[in-house]
Structure 1
């Protein structure tokens, strides 16, 4: 099992891994969750998949086991910034505007995590380890990018595993239901463990 943080600058070094991550996202979000999201060539994508973002992959060779997207809160692409802020600004119909308890920040030291998933093909007996690898690589990459905090719209069961993964996390919004998938914005404080 490996972890790789992909960017537009390094994706050429990783063969099909980048495309496979988007294929796995399609399987998770469009096929499994039945969400109405953009897709092309068997891959799911949206307006936040730009050169400003990074993509964390847990993989076995070219097979994707799990993934997360990281986007700086300073990102801009046309009218869009990052998912949580754009929902708050009423730019996204599928996410309630009251998802965050305060005004969505814009800061060089705050990044957003989104599109969090574990592949449906990942065996149950290794899912906990895959999830731990995903969180460790996400926090490592976020710190390397200068993040002191990560905001994420993630599954609402986060209190069950946050401590196990060594995360200092707290709720930053209400629990919302997305077609039977309870989710919540969470703030992950990376300052205590920064080197």
Structure 2
């Protein structure tokens, strides 16, 4: 990714932060005004909270558009060329492994933060990128090889079967209240 592309990505992130900030200010002003707007804003906020709760359970892959997928694939190619290890940590079929996709998307997000101007706020750009190399990259490489099953795909893709959900939703009880969850 070129410096110009990184700069454009940071500008896009800042624009989104500004939009979110303005929306938050409008909502807070409406809530504190004590008018009908406040109840309407509260309803909107509750609706937004319900939507975000739904999104929180949604995978990166389900939310990503073609452009985001292309960016992740480009970054994955850059990552494997840049960090050549004794054994490959990504295989050509990584896009067919949901755990790898989610993990790689998180790794990319952490890397983008580490190389962005935002990194200077906490530690500085050098320390943030060093932390990414020490903490995030080795963890990802280990998980890709062992946890996500890419080790089995060194010569050809090996399908994994999704495990069924194990949560006993019928017997779930809210901690502290003793009430059953509907």
TM-score (norm 1): 0.26
In our comparison, the structure showing a higher alpha carbon Rg is 2
TM-score (norm 2): 0.27
**Which one has the bigger strand percentage?**
1
